[in-house]
Copies of this chain bind each other. A is one copy, B any other.
């Protein structure tokens, strides 16, 4: 038996990632209170036990309060805990990754965020640099074998936009044909209405996006689907 002692302080942090200026960027804001007052930091907050049924609910509430919108994608990243990360004592931060198209953040009435390339971060509060590094690694890894990048785009998108998204995440380009065969997609096979490709990856809409060239069909993502083999 050990003596009763105070339990660690629990908070929830969110690494909100978006594609901006052709790079994967994280949303940061300036802290108004100590510790680390005046430092750039991730959005985060404490659990409200009466309001939040789960830690993910806390993350959603924090995002709603600071951006005014719901994230397109949200998952738990992991917990960063220990004696050293917060000068006030032993603490645990349940960290999450959120993905959003950048337009959704521009038009929101919430707090002003600064965006930084995840590969060129300034000094940050707490262990937030480490959290962003872990989040970027997770996203790049999952992107290599799943439809995760769809959630960095608006609900409807063209195949070319999706290809650019993958390319920006990895910093590599690929030929159109290769990209499409990776996804197992043949647009012609799909009935305009609700048809789905063979792997249930994307849903073809009957909408098209035109410019002064052949219009491109718009797609929606069905659900997070995993490919058999890792690409990229």
A: residues with CB less than 8 A from B are: 2, 5-10, 46-49, 52-55, 76, 78-79, 81-84, 89-90, 92, 94, 145, 228-230
Given known A-B contacts A79-B78, A82-B54, A92-B94, A7 and B9 have beta carbons under 8 A apart: yes
> Shortest CB–CB separation between residue A4 and chain B, in angstroms?
10
Per the bound structure, the CA–CA distance linking A55 and B92 in Å amounts to 9
Which residues of the other chain, B, contact A7 by a CB distance below 8 angstroms?
7-10, 46-47
Contact (Cβ within 8 A) A10 B92:
yes
Which residues of the other chain, B, contact A9 by a CB distance below 8 angstroms?
7
A94 — nearest CB in chain B belongs to which residue?
B79
Which residues of the other chain, B, contact A229 by a CB distance below 8 angstroms?
229-230
7 smallest beta-carbon distances between A and B, as pairs: A54-B82, A49-B90, A55-B81, A79-B79, A8-B10, A79-B94, A7-B10
Contact (Cβ within 8 A) A2 B48:
yes
Given known A-B contacts A47-B8, A230-B228, A78 and B78 have beta carbons under 8 A apart: yes
A58 — nearest CB in chain B belongs to which residue?
B81
Contact (Cβ within 8 A) A49 B92:
no
**Copies of the chain in the assembly:** 2
Which residues of the other chain, B, contact A2 by a CB distance below 8 angstroms?
46, 48
> Shortest CB–CB separation between residue A199 and chain B, in angstroms?
15
Per the bound structure, the CA–CA distance linking A216 and B207 in Å amounts to 62
Which residues of the other chain, B, contact A83 by a CB distance below 8 angstroms?
49, 52-54
Query: What are 18 A-B interface contacts by the 8 Å CB criterion?
Result: A2-B48, A5-B48, A7-B7, A7-B8, A10-B10, A47-B81, A47-B90, A52-B83, A53-B83, A54-B81, A54-B82, A54-B83, A55-B81, A76-B78, A81-B94, A92-B92, A228-B230, A230-B230
Per the bound structure, the CA–CA distance linking A229 and B228 in Å amounts to 9
Contact (Cβ within 8 A) A49 B230:
no
> Shortest CB–CB separation between residue A9 and chain B, in angstroms?
5
Which residues of the other chain, B, contact A81 by a CB distance below 8 angstroms?
10, 47, 54-55, 94
Per the bound structure, the CA–CA distance linking A79 and B53 in Å amounts to 14
Q: Knowing that A8-B49, A228-B230 are A-B contacts, what are 7 other residue pairs whose CB atoms are under 8 Å apart, sorted by A's residue number?
A: A5-B49, A7-B9, A7-B47, A8-B10, A54-B82, A55-B92, A78-B78
